[in-house]
Amino acid sequence: MAATARNTATLDDLVDKYGDSVLPIQLDVTDRQADFAAVKQAHDHFGRLDIVVNNAGYGQFGFIEELSESDARDQIETNVFGALWVTQAALPYLREQRSGHIIQVSSIGGIVAFPNVGIYHASKWALEGFSQALAQEVAPFDVHVTLIEPGGFDTDWAGSSSRRADPLPAYAEVHAATEEVRARRWAGPGDPKASAAALLKVVDAQEPPLRVFFGEAPLRLAKADYEDRLRTWEQWQPVAELAQG
């Protein structure tokens, strides 16, 4: 839903090539009123909405103690509320026509968590939670919801498009170790151009999934994380039952 100064030239090229089939709208997704206006404009222009992709977002780096209030609030406002407002704006149209597909671009970071991106994880876990509930709420209207959970891709996500908190000297060694692990974890990032064909497979599916990984690494990371969770939950089940009384 968002067009920025960096991609204006690309959007202009698309308009020149495809004419009225492309409608670029510049939008700050943290502005709820503007979100509703933009979705209405898109609907009125095309006559209907079929697929809504909530892809606007960015990565906020910083250990939890290092985050300023602005760091934390801006991340949640964009990654969570931005997607929520656009989703709310689109739902009346999708319900009325009893069809449509909302694509929420989450992350492998929406189900696991690593150091130095804690508030980013918080935003994606929130997106995952409300989207799973949403999928059940709109299923009776034949509206689908899918969470795309990419791993590392060859984009500028960790570059100039990200934001970084002011580091605390006390964490200097931990930061260095974290970066070494991160570099090994995402060796061989995915090709973002290949994602288009994968996304079309999802939206063209007769029964699209609620969640789907993009990339090779997420399944491996998720299995390790969930196996560890299950072991811990089972180990501490006696305490869980003790707490029930």
Domains of the chain by start residue, with CATH = 50-244 (3.40.50.720)
pLDDT for residue 244 is more than 90:
yes
Report pLDDT digits (tens) over 148-196. 999 988 888 888 889 999 999 999 999 999 988 877 776 667 888 899 9
The pLDDT value given to residue 4: 31
Q: What is the pTM of this model?
A: 0.90
222/187: higher pLDDT = 222
For 207, phi then psi, to 5°, come to -130, 85
CA dihedral 218→223→224→227, nearest 10 degrees, is: 160
Helix 237-244 crosses helix 217-235 at what angle (to 10 degrees)? 60
Q: Which of 7-21, 110-124, 192-206 has the lowest mean pLDDT?
A: 7-21
Judged against a pLDDT cut of 50, whether residue 216 lies above it is answered with yes
Report the residue count for the chain. 245
User: What is residue 158's predicted lDDT score, i.e. its pLDDT?
Assistant: 80
Pairwise CA distance, residues 30 & 48, whole Å? 24
pLDDT confidence of residue 155? 81
CA distances for 24 relative to 3, 16, 18, 19, 114, angstroms: 7, 12, 12, 11, 35
Looking at residue 186, what is its pLDDT?
65
Q: Does 91 have pLDDT greater than 80?
A: yes
Q: Give the active site residues.
A: 106, 120, 124
Give pLDDT tens digits for 12-28. Answer: 676 676 667 889 999 99
Position with higher pLDDT, 222 vs 193? 222
pLDDT at 206 over 90: yes
